[in-house]
Amino acid sequence: MAAVRVLILRAPGANCDLETAFAFEKAGAIPERIHIHQIKQDPKLLDAFQVLTIPGGFTYGDDVAAGKILAVQMRTFLNDALQQFRNQGKLILGICNGFQALLKAGLLVPPIERGVPATLTANEPPGFVDRWVHLRAEPGKCPFLQGYSVWEAPIAHGEGRFVCDKPETYRRLEEGGQIVLRYVDAAGQPGPYPANPNGSQGSVAGLCDITGQVLGMMPHPERHVLPTQHPQWTRRGLTEEGDGLRLFRNAVQFFQKW
């Protein structure tokens, strides 16, 4: 059986590409880190891969807004190629800054004339937050999250607050099964800060597109693939693997079933 190939999209300021490649290697895939300029010059490079991943970081220094410049490049130069990639039944994953880029590029929620109906903006309370959180998955038809319930991963962002332009947009996303990951407390229940670390509407931590094939999430699963990456592993005992590894293995197994 041919190994699953993963394209990890690099851009100036992205700094989680090596961790993401390591996670996919642990899951049995063959990752390759490719700069966005190469993909812009030859979008057909995408044809050789089954998974496209946009890792975390601070692409283009978040100078305009987090993920905004990368999103504009994706929408302007790669929109047709990315749509075709998804239409071929392939998977797209955006982590943290990658989630911001996917959402602002309109790949998770269809864009409207004046922009996108949902975005990720400054945290509330304001400021950069860097800590571990509990998450509750509601996978639906999203392959990445199958088998998850309540799990843990770290977050590290200053613009992770998910908001919709109007209540109808949020309701449509919820009814469509696109809200697949929420911030919760240790008992698995959503609530205000600190359970919801950034003030996200509906405690949203991750969102998929209507097909389930495109997933964007603020937490970093690639930073919890080894059990020793959890800060309390010496007190809790050594588990077999970190909570995040399943997500990457799910992506690999999705194609091994073809």
pLDDT at 28: 97
Among residues 157, 220, 224, 230, which one is catalytic? 220
164 tagged catalytic: no
Q: Which of 16, 19, 96, 157 is catalytic?
A: 96
Contacts of 107 (CB under 8 A, 6+ apart): 74, 82, 86, 92, 209, 214
What per-residue confidence (pLDDT) applies to 257? 72
Which of 19, 157, 159, 222 is catalytic? The answer is: 222
* CA–CA separation, 155 and 128 (whole Å): 10
Q: Sign of dihedral through CA atoms 66, 211, 54, 245?
A: positive
Cis omega (within 30 of 0) for bond into 190: no
Coil/strand/helix, residue 160 = coil
pLDDT at position 113: 66
Contact 45, 39 (CB under 8 A): yes
pLDDT at res. 258: 56
Domain ranges of the chain: 5-123+159-178+207-256
* Calpha distance 57→94 (Å, rounded): 11
Q: By C-alpha distance, which of 156, 158, 151, 160 is closest to 225?
A: 151
Is 142 among the residues known to form the active site?
no
What the block records as the tokens of 242 is 């970190």
Q: List per-block mean pLDDT (blocks of 10 residues) for the chain, which spans 258 residues.
A: 91 96 98 97 97 97 92 96 97 98 94 82 97 97 97 98 96 97 97 97 98 98 98 94 98 87
Residue 111 pLDDT: 80
H or E segment to which residue 179 belongs:
strand 179-184
pLDDT of residue 1: 62
Burial class (CB in 10 A: 0-12, 13-18, 19+), 187: exposed
Q: Is 220 a catalytic residue?
A: yes
Torsion angles phi and psi, residue 83, rounded to 5: -65, -40
Q: Could you say which of 3.40.50.880, 3.40.640.10, 2.60.40.1230, 3.40.50.720 is the CATH number of the domain covering 5-123+159-178+207-256?
A: 3.40.50.880
How many other CB atoms are found less than 10 A from the CB of residue 243?
20
